[in-house]
Structure 1
Amino acid sequence: MRPSRTMAVIALLTASVAVAACGSGQTGSSGGSTPSKQVTMDEQQATKRAEEIIHQAVDGMSPKPTLKRTGLSPLGACVADDHSAGERQQVALSYQLTGVPGTEAKKLVRQARDAWVKLGYTFQSSDADWSDPFPSVSMRTVPDDFWMTAITGVVDKAKGEGLAAISVTSPCFAADGSGTADPASFRQTATDEQAEHRARDHSSRLYDALQVRHGATQEGEGLATYQDGEETYAHHTWSTEPLPEDAMVRALARAQAHFESLGWTLRQVPTVTGVPALLARNAEDGSAARLAPSVDGTLRVAVTTPTAPPGSVSV
């Protein structure tokens, strides 16, 4: 990453920390949405298709895992719509693959990848790093553009034990099921949509690591694109439900362990709440994240990713 880009990301996240500490939901100006590819879908169709994609990956696995649903209600507001009033929704299904030894997690992720590749689905950026004991793979369906991820969460790093999980997110669709809907994944350029997916992928893994509930959407939260000079960034923000201070501290400790296991660099920043905010940076793709305790008890989360492909980012 060039120094100017590094400073821009750090500045954006540091500013977000200060804003969150004051209890505000504002995140700055948005780049707005651009015209996107249209599909027709409703909640029932989206749920059925997401379940199908899950089973396409899981049904042929060996050893055979048991699906354990995670997360809240699968139906939610379209995260690509800033200041959404509920006109569009999307379905997101997540499952842990349980009932198998922890040493098999990597094998299950590879099998999910192989099943999806066989069906002609495509990678978001590149295949997983299979030399990593805890790999992840992100793909999309063709032609209906569902996003899916198979990941391994670390259970015992020393013993090489993990827990595999799989998630599928639908395109956005009209809340009343009457009209057309456009996938949240489609943006103006290929690099924009790749950056948006990386930001959401980091954000999703962080949500799993925190182990706390997602709060009501605040004004200005969601997925947006920001311009800083010649550089463009995808920025995903959301909040947890209000937490007692001890629960906040434990959640931040889990987040820190998550980032450390992935090799992110970390630092803490004081806030007016007395609980330090956590800033993290991924040197591999230039992403940065901030987790900031707010005076209203919520934990404000922001992930910023530059649109430059990972291979072009240097430290």
Structure 2
Amino acid sequence: MNEQQAIDRAEEIIHQAVDGMSPRPTLERMGPAPVGACIARDDHGPDDRVQVTVAYKLTGVPGSEAQNLVRQARDAWLKQGYKHNSSGEVDWTSAFPTVYMRTGPDDFWMDAVTGVVDRAKGEGLASLSVTSPCFLPPGKSKALGATPASPAAAFEAPSADDPATGRALAHSSRIYDALQVGSAPTQPGEGLSTVRDESGASVHHTWSTEPLPEGERAAAVERAQTFFRSAGWTVRRVPTAEGTPGVVAGHPGEHTVAQVAASTTGAVRIAVTTPATGPASAGA
């Protein structure tokens, strides 16, 4: 799989949920370019894999329809033969009722979530997100003896005085403070890199915490989520193979995206992606 194939499949899964909805919503794309570092990888794959996340708000319908749209997305995905990623039980009275599902056999993960805007009126905003499995970017796959699937992206070392580098590191520092756990030595494939593709250039910073017991991993991810919300980031919870939902957050004043998720290695993995062009400083 390459980046474009992953995006196309994610879009197909989104439309399988939306095209039969009534009332029919308008899709409003969320976030910057969808490719990013693979943060929930296991210990069996190469360390330089990436993954794609595609997310949309469902707009143009009354806020009172938000939960109904999430239920319709769930039902449409079930008709496709997709499976719940958990028990399937949803607390529809919670602030953010969420359906977690996955496809088979290609193992894309998706969620449909309602964010409450007015609890008294039962109004909210629905959104859908699809995340691909991890895959090797072009060039990296060639190094392992395979032919690159597409010249879509190129990786290079970022400049130390690049404002985007400073922005990514500043966000990582704040996330480190919020996690309240120690970081691990840099692993192969982690650190800073610049990715150039059709949409432009982005700086990635990826790193990991020290290995933690399951309960501490979950608590650290929750602390990261609390930090993002308090700092005004847009926050989404996404399912992971580890079981503990990960967090994807978008910065309100930039196109920066941060991802925090537990890994099967026992660590919490962090990835910050920020456009190479943007504000010179990282405001929280």
**Which bracket does the TM-score occupy, shorter chain normalised?**
0.5 to 0.7
Shift of 1:258: 8.3
1:98 maps to which residue? 59
| Amino acid across the alignment from 2:80 | L
Q: Does 1:220 align with 2:220?
A: no
Q: Give the structure 2 partner of residue 147 of structure 1.
A: 109
What corresponds to 1:44 in structure 2?
A: 4
Give runs of aligned pairs for residues 1-315 of structure 1, distance below 5 A: 41-80=1-40, 87-129=48-90, 131-132=92-93, 134-176=96-138, 179=146, 216-221=203-208, 226-228=211-213, 233=217, 252=230, 254=232
Instruction: Give, in whole Å, the separation in 1 of the partners of 2:117 and 2:86.
Output: 26
Change (3 A) 1:238 1:73: farther
The equivalent residue for 1:191 is none
C-alpha distance in 2 between matches for 1:77 and 1:64? 33
Q: In 2, are the aligned partners of 1:155 and 1:162 still within 8 Å (CA)?
A: yes
Distance in 2 (CA, whole Å) between partners of 1:106 and 1:126 is 19
| 1:60 partner SS | coil
- CA drift of 1:95 comes to 0.1
Distance 1:150 1:287, change over 3 A: closer
| Residue identity in the other structure for 1:220 | W
The 3-state SS of whatever aligns with 1:106 is helix
Q: What TM-score do the two structures reach when normalised by structure 1?
A: 0.49
Q: Deviations over 1:219-240 (max 9, x none)?
A: 524xx78344x9784665999x
Bigger proportion of residues as helix: 1
Shift of the 131–145 alpha-carbon distance from structure 1 to 2, 3 Å rule, reads same
- Over residues 84-134 of structure 1, what are the superposed CA-to-partner deviations in whole Å (9 max), with x where a residue is unaligned? 998322111000000000000000000000011111111111224254265
Query: How big is the shift at 1:216?
Result: 4.9
What CA deviation, in whole Å up to 9, does each residue of 1:15-67 have, x standing for no partner? xxxxxxxxxxxxxxxxxxxxxxxxxx111211111000000000000000000
Paired residues of 1:90 and 1:170 also in contact (CA < 8 A):
yes
Counting aligned pairs with the same residue, the percent is 50
Partner of 1:183 in structure 2? none
SS in structure 2 opposite 1:80?
A: coil
Partners of 1:121 and 1:232 in 2: CA distance = 31
Q: 1:128–1:174: structure 2 CA closer, same or farther, 3 Å change rule?
A: same
Rounded to whole Å, the distance in 1 between the matches of 2:11 and 2:245 is: 30
Per-residue deviation, residues 136-183 of structure 1 (Å, max 9, x unmatched)? 101000110000000011111121110000000001111016659xxx
* Equivalent-residue separation in structure 1 for 2:131 and 2:244 (angstroms): 24
Q: 1:104 to 1:167 in 2, by over 3 A?
A: same
Provide the aligned length of Structure 1 versus Structure 2. Answer: 189
| CA drift at 1:69 | 0.1
The secondary structure found in structure 1 opposite 2:81 is coil
- Give the root-mean-square deviation of aligned CA atoms: 4.6
Q: 8 Å contact 2:38–2:49 — kept in the other structure? A: yes
Change (3 A) 1:225 1:105: farther
Higher relative contact order (CA 8 A, sep 6+): 1
Q: Distance in 1 between matches of 2:34 and 2:51?
A: 8
Q: Unpaired segments of 5 or more residues in structure 1?
A: 1-40, 181-202, 204-214, 240-248, 260-284, 292-297, 307-315
Any conservation in 2 of the 1:42–1:173 contact (CA below 8 Å)?
yes
CA contact (8 A) 1:78 1:172 kept: yes
Question: 2:118, 2:232 → 1: CA distance?
Answer: 14
